[in-house]
Amino acid sequence: MRFNAKKCYILSVRNKSQHCYSLDDTILQRVSSNPYLAVEFSEDLRWSTHISKISKTSSSTPGFLCRNVKIVPHHVNFNAYLSLVRSAVEYGTTVWDPYLLQDIDRLDRVQRRGAGFITGDYKSRSPGCVTQMLVQHNLLSLQERRKHLRLAFLFKVVKGSVLAIPPEYYLIPQRPKHAVRVRTFKDQSPATSLILRLPTTADVFGTSIEERAIYTFILCEDYH
Count the alpha carbons within 13 Å of 181 in the hemisphere toward its beta carbon.
12
C-beta pairs of 74-83 under 8 Å, 24+ apart in sequence = 74/118, 74/119, 74/120, 77/117, 77/118, 77/119, 77/120, 78/118, 78/137, 81/114, 81/117, 81/118
Adjacent-strand bridge partners of 188: 173
How far, in Å, are 171, 173, 183, 184 from residue 177 at the CA level? Answer: 18, 12, 11, 13
**Helix, coil or strand: residue 188:** strand
Residue ranges per structural domain of the chain = 5-42, 48-139, 158-223
Quick one: angle between helices 74-81 and 101-119, nearest 10? Answer: 150
- For the CA atoms of 112, 117, 119, 123, the dihedral, rounded to the nearest 10 degrees, stands at 80
What tens-digit pLDDT sequence spans the chain (224 residues)?
788 888 888 888 866 667 788 888 888 888 889 999 999 999 888 899 999 999 999 988 888 888 877 777 888 889 999 999 999 999 999 889 888 899 999 999 999 888 888 888 777 778 878 888 888 888 999 999 998 888 888 888 778 787 777 766 666 555 555 554 544 545 444 443 333 333 334 454 556 666 677 767 766 655 44
Adjacent-strand bridge partners of 26: 23
Best CA proximity match to 93, nearest among 129, 144, 127: 144
Rounded to two decimals, the pTM is 0.73
How far apart are the C-alpha atoms of 38 and 54, rounded to whole Å?
10
